[in-house]
Amino acid sequence: MRNSERVKVKNLLESGTVGAEVAAMGWVRTKRGNKSITFIALNDGSTINSIQVVFDMAVFSEDQLKNVATGACIAVRGKLVESPGSGQRVEIQASYLEVLGEADSATYPLQKKGHSMEFLREIAHLRPRTNTFGAVLRIRHALAFAIHKYFNDRGFIYLHTPIITGSDAEGAGAMFRVTTLDPNNLPRTPEGKIDWSEDFFGKEAKLTVSGQLEAELGAMALSEVYTFGPTFRAENSNTPRHLAEFWMIEPEMAFYDIQDNMDLAEDFLKYLIRYVLTSCADDLEFLKKMYDDELVSRLQLVVDNKFERLTYTRAVEILEKANQKWEFPVFWGADLQSEHERYLVEKHFSKPVILTDYPKEIKAFYMKQNDDGKTVRAMDVLFPKIGEIIGGSQREENYQKLLSRITELGVPEKDVWWYLDTRKFGTAPHSGFGLGFERLVLFVTGMSNIRDVIPFPRTPKNCEF
């Protein structure tokens, strides 16, 4: 059977004409039956739902169906009929069966019954075949598509920033080294240090931790740009919210101040969630039923409410007055801890919160300094359950102020001369933010571990598949 004959399961279930001769291909989820009739639930990933294929054992032999067990891949042809059973609108009355790939039922690891997420991580090559991962991966795709659509519809240019970087100044954490040198035979300088001039790029190279600095270069020409690509952090983070390799979206906009930046971030997040609510309703309903009863209402909460905007200073006042014991003390100048952020979002305001104007000491060198000399125009968007989902700021566009901050923090000027150049030649007020893609998928799917919202997670001590 050829693909041209095949109809996707989603189309058969939603709009298949009763009485039509149809063909389908997919993987067997379950088989049940007796000597006279066999039922197979067939899934091709086009939807969470499987189509029921009915085999009349007067037409098919037991031998033909013997090796068609959970996990096998088959092609079937038959008549689409109204289902007398209660679980589905239509089913295929099979007249032809082709086994494309058997799956030995004694050794195939996936069963009809539930598996733990930990076990499924060990078989990440097969877990897309489960209902849960099918739903998560379809939602992940929908979000990725919606991100491009949102920006494209608003005239943003998709800018491909480098994955390998020679700059160590991004300041967002430990980096992975990229080298072609033989670790057992490293070239040395006369002083005995490693001679990086002998390496592939003639200098030390790393995997990027952020495309922001390059995105700013794009914004200084194209006005509005965004990046959407892989990002790497070599931190030894072992939490349900961190990956060593993850995807990040970083819009960067000329002429936007911090208010414009917040407006964009809020509108963007609401658009994405609304998109999934309407286009992935089946998958969300499944995840809600299986894992998280409040999933849809939590998404609706974000879409329906104006995000609360307040300054860091005001937030510290609220936390100091809160009748609550903190593991970490709250005072002006301290970085806010998870417990503080969660209190603001989940207890005090009960909706997403945007905090602005943080002390400059706890934020990056490129953020625009306020006139008070103490704070910078940073903004963090905090969400229920997962905490910080977006971090951004208005950027410092004044050459002298940026240079003095760089000097204060000891960033080598030779590493960022090109970044400083944008402030020398035609500088402009501009802003941007970073959104961790998997954090967004985590929030939208209600999964509890970030390793379960990316097909092949990379974490400390884990690089299989």
Least distance (Å) from RNA to the CB of residue 387?
6
335 makes contact with RNA (CB under 7 A): yes
233 makes contact with RNA (CB under 7 A): yes
For residue 6, give both structure tokens.
């095949």
* Of residues 148-187, those binding RNA (CB under 7 A): 172-173
121 makes contact with RNA (CB under 7 A): yes
329 makes contact with RNA (CB under 7 A): no
Selected range binding RNA among 2-10, 188-196, 241-249, 257-265, rule: CB under 7 A: 241-249
451 makes contact with RNA (CB under 7 A): yes
Least distance (Å) from RNA to the CB of residue 338?
4
93 makes contact with RNA (CB under 7 A): yes
The one among 119, 145, 332, 418 contacting RNA by CB under 7 A: 119
Least distance (Å) from RNA to the CB of residue 210?
7
Least distance (Å) from RNA to the CB of residue 55?
10
* Of residues 341-380, those binding RNA (CB under 7 A): none
Selected range binding RNA among 228-236, 276-284, 293-301, 367-375, rule: CB under 7 A: 228-236
The one among 9, 41, 74, 382 contacting RNA by CB under 7 A: 41
289 makes contact with RNA (CB under 7 A): no
313 makes contact with RNA (CB under 7 A): no
The one among 5, 118, 198, 263 contacting RNA by CB under 7 A: 118
Selected range binding RNA among 147-155, 273-281, 337-345, 349-357, rule: CB under 7 A: 337-345
Compute how many residues bind RNA; rule: CB under 7 A. 71
Please say which residue, 255 or 326, places its beta carbon nearer to RNA. 326
86 makes contact with RNA (CB under 7 A): yes
The one among 387, 423, 444, 453 contacting RNA by CB under 7 A: 387
61 makes contact with RNA (CB under 7 A): no
Please say which residue, 162 or 173, places its beta carbon nearer to RNA. 173
